[in-house]
Structure formats: structure tokens, C-alpha cells
Amino acid sequence: MTLRGEEIAAPYRKWLDNEVSNVPAVRTDLGKFFFGVSTGTVAMFIGLEKTGFGVKMDKLLVVSLLLTLASMIIALFMAKPPLWRLTSSTDIFAEHDKHVEAVSRYVWAWLALWLLALVPWVVRLLFSA
């Protein structure tokens, strides 16, 4: 059996088509998931505050809530489908890389804000008891 170049390239072309078409879906799905996690975190903050010692809006809780709100905003930006600007001269690999890098930046920004939101709240819990 002798394979020609087109037969070898066909699976790669199919993979590339699938990869390029899935970038917006992955970004949107991650944004929805992260928004749910951020919303759940706010609910957890308030729920545990209420069961523990009533909701006292001190500075650390406000900082935690504001940072969580910022992570929710990042998640909303991720959930918005990206706009593809493709022309006849567009390098599809460069466009794909640009969108993958944008998703990566959003994920790291969301994670940093979400973790930073947990720190003041945990400090507050540990030292206010």
C-alpha cells in the first residue's frame, strides 16, 4: 500500500478544521463555567457568613466580594463568543493562535482574581473567630 501526499494530509486538514471551529465553543463554555463558579463562590461567602455569625459587611468581606465580582466580569467576557475577522489574506494558524492565547489570558486572569478573592475571606474567617 502506497500513500500519496493528499491521503496523508487529509486527516490533518480534518483535525485543523475541527480545531479552528471549536475555539469559540471552548471559550464560551469555559466562560459559562467560570461564571457559575464565581456566582457559587459569592453564594458560599454569604451562606457561610449567615450561618456562622450573621452577615457583617466589614472591609475584608467587601474586598472578597469585589474581587469575585471582577472574576465574574472576566467570565462574562469569556462567555461572549469571539468575533472572527477572516479575509482572503488571513493566516488561519495565526488567527487560531491569537484566539487560543486570548482564552489562556482570560483563564489566568479569572483564576488569579478568584484566588485573590478567597484570601481576604479566609483571613477574615481565621482571625475573626
Return the higher-pLDDT residue of 57 and 77: 77
Give the separation between CA 117 and CA 1, rounded to whole angstroms.
Answer: 60
Number of domains in the chain: 1
Per-residue pLDDT band at 17 (split at 50, 70, 90):
confident
Condensed to tens digits (0 to 9), the pLDDT of residues 25-47 reads 778 888 899 999 999 988 888 88
Give the separation between CA 70 and CA 66, rounded to whole angstroms.
Answer: 6
Tell me the three cell numbers of residue 118.
478567597
Single out the residue of 85, 68, 76, 64 nearest to residue 128, CA to CA. Answer: 64
Give the separation between CA 114 and CA 39, rounded to whole angstroms.
Answer: 11
Give the separation between CA 100 and CA 22, rounded to whole angstroms.
Answer: 11
What three-state secondary structure class fits 98?
helix
Asked if residue 83 has pLDDT above 80, the reply is no
Residue 119 belongs to domain spanning: 5-128
pLDDT score of 86: 67
Asked if residue 122 has pLDDT above 70, the reply is yes
